[in-house]
Structure 1
Amino acid sequence: MSTSPPPSPPLVRRRRMRSPSPEYKLDDEDDSYEPYIPIDQRRQAKLAKFTTPASKPRPVREEREEEVDPETEERERARKERTLLREAQEVQARKADEDARKTEAQKHEEQEEKILAAISRQKKLASGLELAKGIQYTESLRTSWRPPHFVRSRSEDENQRLREKYHIIVDGDDVPPPIESFADMKIPGPLLRHLKSKHITEPTPIQLQGLPVAFSGRDMIGIAFTGSGKTLAFCLPLIMFALEDETRLPFVRGEGPVGIILCPSRELASQTYENIIQWTTALSSTSEYPRLNSLLCMGGIAMGEQAHVLSKGVHIVVATPGRLIDMLEKRKFSLDGCRYLCMDEADRMIDLGFEDDVRNIMSFFKRQRQTLLFSATMPRKIQDFAQQSLVRPVLVNVGRAGAANLDVLQVVEYVKQEAKMVYLLECLQKTAPPVIIFSDSKNEVDDIQEYLLLKGVEAVAIHGSKTQDERQYAIKSFKSGAKDVMVASGVASKGLDFPDIQHVIIFSMPKEIEDYVHQIGRTGRSGRTGIATTFVNVNTPEQTLLDLKYLLMEAGQKVPPFLQTIEDPRAAQGGTLKGCPVCGGLGHGISSCPKLEDAQRRQMAAHRGGQDRGGGY
Structure 2
Amino acid sequence: MHPQKRRLAGRSPSPVYRLDDEGDDDYEPYVPIAKRRNTKFIALAALSSNPSESQTDAKGEEIEHIVAEDERMKEKVRNERTLLIEAQEVHSKRAAEDAKKTADEKAEEIDAEILAAITSRRKLASDFDLAKGIQYTETLKTSWRPPWYIREAPQADHQALRQRFHIIVEGDDVPPPIERFADMKIPSPMLKYLKSNRIVTPTPIQLQGMPVAFSGRDMIGIAFTGSGKTLAFCLPLIMLALEEESKLPFARGEGPVGVILCPSRELATQTYENVLAWTAALTHGGYPPLNTLLCIGGISMSEQSQVLNKGLHIIVATPGRLIDMLEKKRFTLDSCKFLCMDEADRMIDLGFEDDVRNIMSFFKYQRQTLLFSATMPRKIQDFAQQSLIQPVLVNVGRAGAANLDVLQVIEYVKQEAKMVYLLECLQKTPPPVIVFSDNKNEVDDIQEYLLLKGVEAVAIHGSKSQEERQYAIKSFKSGAKDVMVASGVASKGLDFNDIQHVIIFSMPKEIEDYVHQIGRTGRSGKTGIATTFVNMNTPEQTLLDLKYLLLEADQKVPPFLETIEDPRIVQGGSIKGCPVCGGLGHGITNCPKLEDTQKRQIASHRLDDSGGRY
Report what 1:123 is aligned to.
122
Structure 1 contact 171–395 (Cα < 8 Å) conserved: yes
Q: Distance in 2 between matches of 1:470 and 1:167?
A: 41
Structure 1 contact 463–471 (Cα < 8 Å) conserved: yes
Report what 2:376 is aligned to.
378
2:318 aligned to 317, 320, 331, which one?
Answer: 320
Q: Displacement of 1:164 after TM fit?
A: 0.3
Report what 1:13 is aligned to.
none
Q: Displacement of 1:352 after TM fit?
A: 4.2
- TM-score w.r.t. structure 1 length? 0.86
Q: Displacement of 1:91 after TM fit?
A: 4.0
Structure 2 residue 507 is matched with structure 1 residue 509: yes
Structure 2, gaps ≥5 residues long = 1-56
2:284 is paired with a residue whose SS is coil
Q: How does 1:149-168 map to 2 (within 5 A)?
A: 149-168=148-167
> Structure 1 residues 90 and 355 mapped into 2: Cα distance closer, same or farther (>3 Å)?
closer
Q: Distance in 1 between matches of 2:89 and 2:244?
A: 71
1:500 is paired with a residue whose SS is coil
1:372 is paired with a residue whose SS is strand
Q: How does 1:222-233 map to 2 (within 5 A)?
A: 222-233=221-232
Q: Deviations over 1:557-581 (max 9, x none)?
A: 0000000111111222222121111
Structure 1, gaps ≥5 residues long = 1-62
Q: Distance in 1 between matches of 2:283 and 2:292?
A: 13
AA at the equivalent of 1:317 = I
AA at the equivalent of 2:594 = L
Report what 1:416 is aligned to.
414
Structure 2 residue 276 is matched with structure 1 residue 280: no
Q: How does 1:179-258 map to 2 (within 5 A)?
A: 179-258=178-257
AA at the equivalent of 1:303 = M
Report what 2:474 is aligned to.
476
Q: Deviations over 1:467-494 (max 9, x none)?
A: 1111111101111111110000000000
Q: Distance in 1 between matches of 2:347 and 2:325?
A: 19
Report what 2:446 is aligned to.
448
Report what 1:603 is aligned to.
601
1:515 is paired with a residue whose SS is helix
Structure 2 contact 460–490 (Cα < 8 Å) conserved: yes
1:353 is paired with a residue whose SS is helix
Q: How does 1:47-86 map to 2 (within 5 A)?
A: 83=78, 84=81
1:410 is paired with a residue whose SS is strand
2:431 aligned to 425, 430, 433, which one?
Answer: 433
Structure 2 residue 327 is matched with structure 1 residue 337: no
Report what 2:358 is aligned to.
360
Q: Deviations over 1:451-470 (max 9, x none)?
A: 11111111110001111111
AA at the equivalent of 1:576 = S
Q: Deviations over 1:199-256 (max 9, x none)?
A: 0000000000000000000000000000000000000000000000111100110010
1:272 is paired with a residue whose SS is helix
Report what 1:55 is aligned to.
none
Q: Distance in 1 between matches of 2:295 and 2:443?
A: 28
Q: Displacement of 1:96 after TM fit?
A: 1.8
1:533 is paired with a residue whose SS is strand
AA at the equivalent of 1:494 = K
Q: Displacement of 1:100 after TM fit?
A: 2.0
Q: Displacement of 1:93 after TM fit?
A: 2.7
Q: Distance in 1 between matches of 2:74 and 2:601?
A: 52
1:373 is paired with a residue whose SS is strand
Q: Deviations over 1:253-289 (max 9, x none)?
A: 00100000000000000000000000000011033x1
> Structure 1 residues 286 and 95 mapped into 2: Cα distance closer, same or farther (>3 Å)?
closer
Q: Distance in 2 between matches of 1:590 and 1:294?
A: 42
> Structure 1 residues 92 and 441 mapped into 2: Cα distance closer, same or farther (>3 Å)?
closer
AA at the equivalent of 1:488 = A
Structure 2 contact 443–459 (Cα < 8 Å) conserved: yes
Structure 2 contact 210–236 (Cα < 8 Å) conserved: yes
Report what 1:43 is aligned to.
none
> Structure 1 residues 305 and 579 mapped into 2: Cα distance closer, same or farther (>3 Å)?
same
Tell me how many residue pairs correspond in the alignment: 552
Q: Displacement of 1:109 after TM fit?
A: 1.8
Q: Displacement of 1:103 after TM fit?
A: 2.5
Report what 1:171 is aligned to.
170
Q: Distance in 2 between matches of 1:592 and 1:103?
A: 20
Q: Distance in 1 between matches of 2:125 and 2:471?
A: 38
AA at the equivalent of 1:515 = D
Q: Displacement of 1:152 after TM fit?
A: 0.3
Q: Distance in 2 between matches of 1:425 and 1:613?
A: 48
Q: Displacement of 1:613 after TM fit?
A: 2.2
Structure 1 contact 341–369 (Cα < 8 Å) conserved: yes
Q: Distance in 1 between matches of 2:514 and 2:323?
A: 31
Q: Distance in 1 between matches of 2:189 and 2:61?
A: 106
AA at the equivalent of 1:284 = T
Q: Distance in 2 between matches of 1:89 and 1:444?
A: 54
1:136 is paired with a residue whose SS is coil
1:465 aligned to 463, 466, 470, which one?
Answer: 463
Structure 1 contact 412–534 (Cα < 8 Å) conserved: yes
2:578 is paired with a residue whose SS is coil
Q: Displacement of 1:102 after TM fit?
A: 2.1
AA at the equivalent of 1:124 = K
Structure 2 contact 477–497 (Cα < 8 Å) conserved: no
Q: Displacement of 1:111 after TM fit?
A: 1.2
AA at the equivalent of 1:537 = N
Q: Displacement of 1:80 after TM fit?
A: 6.0
Report what 2:29 is aligned to.
none
1:432 is paired with a residue whose SS is coil
1:311 aligned to 292, 295, 309, which one?
Answer: 309
Q: Distance in 1 between matches of 2:583 and 2:62?
A: 70
Q: Displacement of 1:609 after TM fit?
A: 1.3
Q: Distance in 2 between matches of 1:492 and 1:94?
A: 53
1:296 is paired with a residue whose SS is strand
AA at the equivalent of 2:476 = F
Q: Displacement of 1:529 after TM fit?
A: 0.4
- TM-score w.r.t. structure 2 length? 0.87
2:610 is paired with a residue whose SS is helix
Q: Displacement of 1:92 after TM fit?
A: 3.5
AA at the equivalent of 2:459 = A
Structure 1 contact 499–526 (Cα < 8 Å) conserved: no
AA at the equivalent of 2:183 = D
> Structure 1 residues 416 and 142 mapped into 2: Cα distance closer, same or farther (>3 Å)?
same
2:564 aligned to 552, 563, 566, which one?
Answer: 566
Q: Displacement of 1:105 after TM fit?
A: 2.5
Q: Distance in 1 between matches of 2:198 and 2:152?
A: 31
Q: Distance in 2 between matches of 1:536 and 1:187?
A: 47
Report what 2:494 is aligned to.
496
Q: Deviations over 1:528-556 (max 9, x none)?
A: 00000000000001110000001001110
> Structure 1 residues 456 and 393 mapped into 2: Cα distance closer, same or farther (>3 Å)?
same
Report what 1:523 is aligned to.
521
Structure 1 contact 103–573 (Cα < 8 Å) conserved: no
Report what 1:546 is aligned to.
544
Higher helix share: 2
- Point out the more displaced range, 91-100 or 390-399: 91-100
Q: Displacement of 1:612 after TM fit?
A: 1.9
Q: Which has the larger radius of gyration?
A: 1
Report what 1:144 is aligned to.
143
Identity %: 77
RMSD, aligned α-carbons: 2.2
> Structure 1 residues 452 and 389 mapped into 2: Cα distance closer, same or farther (>3 Å)?
same
Q: Displacement of 1:319 after TM fit?
A: 0.3
